Amino acid sequence: MPHMMVVNSGSHFIRRAASGTVLLDTRAMDPPYDLPRYLWSDGTPEHTLENTGSDDIVVVAIELKP
């Protein structure tokens, strides 16, 4: 489902596909990763998120009705 994400707090993270393949490691980004306050997604496939930073990751996803 399409959704808007509101980031309340964030940190570095590793995002992996359901298969375990690393899709994104924010620690390795150049320029350094800056977590935006709002994000849009047309739909997010199944994945895991590993918090590798010192702050909690708190994100509220708001799904849009068709």
- What value does the mean pLDDT take over residues 31-43? 93
Structure confidence at residue 44 as a pLDDT band (50, 70, 90):
confident
Q: Summarize pLDDT for 17-32 with one digit per residue, the tens.
A: 999 999 999 999 999 9
pLDDT surpassing 90 at residue 13: yes
Residues in the chain: 66
Sole residue written with tokens 């940190």: 11
Q: Assign 36 a pLDDT band (cuts: 50, 70, 90).
A: very high
In whole angstroms, give the CA distance from residue 27 to residue 11: 10
Only one residue has tokens 């010192």, namely 54
- How much is the pTM? 0.83
Closest CA to 5 of 33, 44, 32: 44
What pLDDT does 65 receive?
85
